[in-house]
């Protein structure tokens, strides 16, 4: 049985993960519209991954017998500026998600809820990987300093990102 505080925290995180999915979908749409189809693909794959994150929390809450109350998902922005801006916004967003997950992990420990803590550690580790891949993309974009050919090469590379494998 999860404490009320943990239920509230996980429900909020569930909403944040759905918002993440929505944000990446908005970024993907923006990149498609801006003819960065490779970046649009990368961001669409990220949308799918975030959707799986939300589902992972949802499944855990169901398993723990919680009657989930789904909240509204906030509207993401429509325009994101340059390709560099898109990924900088993604990084800022992921850093905020990491901070939230760290706070939630602290709460789980305080509540002596080790099952939830274990679940959250999966997310904390996932954040390391996510921040690192976005950082790598930002470095590459900065390296080409707005050069059209360089941006095209990066966009082609981002096209290679495949559909994420299902997570448990």
Angle in degrees, CA 64, 124, 155, rounded to 5 = 120
25 binds ligand FEO (CB under 6 A): no
Verify binding: residue 134, ligand FEO, rule CB under 6 A: no
By C-beta, is 50 or 113 nearer to ligand FEO? 50
Q: In this structure, what token pair is assigned to residue 30?
A: 């923006």
Q: Binding-site residue total for ligand FEO (CB under 6 A)?
A: 7
Tokens 């590459």 sit on residue? 140
Q: Are the C-beta atoms of 107 and 9 separated by less than 8 Å?
A: yes
By C-beta, is 86 or 97 nearer to ligand FEO? 97
Longest dimension (CA), the chain: 56
Among 7, 40, 44, 53, which residue interacts with ligand FEO (rule: CB under 6 A)? Answer: 53
Binding site for ligand FEO (CB under 6 A): 17, 20, 50, 53, 94, 97, 130
């Amino acid at each position: 049985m999860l404490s009320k505080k943990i239920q509230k925290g996980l429900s909020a995180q569930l909403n944040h993960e759905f918002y993440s999915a929505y944000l990446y979908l908005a970024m993907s749409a923006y990149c498609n519209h801006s003819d960065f189809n490779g970046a649009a693909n990368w961001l669409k794959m990220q949308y799918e991954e975030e959707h799986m994150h939300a589902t992972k929390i949802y499944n855990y809450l169901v398993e723990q017998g919680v009657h989930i109350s789904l909240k509204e998902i906030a509207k993401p922005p429509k325009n994101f500026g340059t390709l560099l801006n898109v990924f900088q916004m993604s990084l800022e967003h992921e850093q905020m998600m990491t901070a939230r997950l760290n706070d939630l992990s602290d709460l789980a420990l305080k509540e002596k809820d080790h099952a939830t803590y274990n679940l959250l550690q999966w997310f904390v580790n996932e954040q390391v990987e996510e921040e690192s891949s976005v950082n790598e993309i930002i470095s590459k974009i900065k390296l080409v300093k707005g050069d059209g050919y360089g941006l095209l090469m990066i966009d082609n590379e981002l096209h290679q990102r495949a559909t994420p494998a299902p997570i448990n």
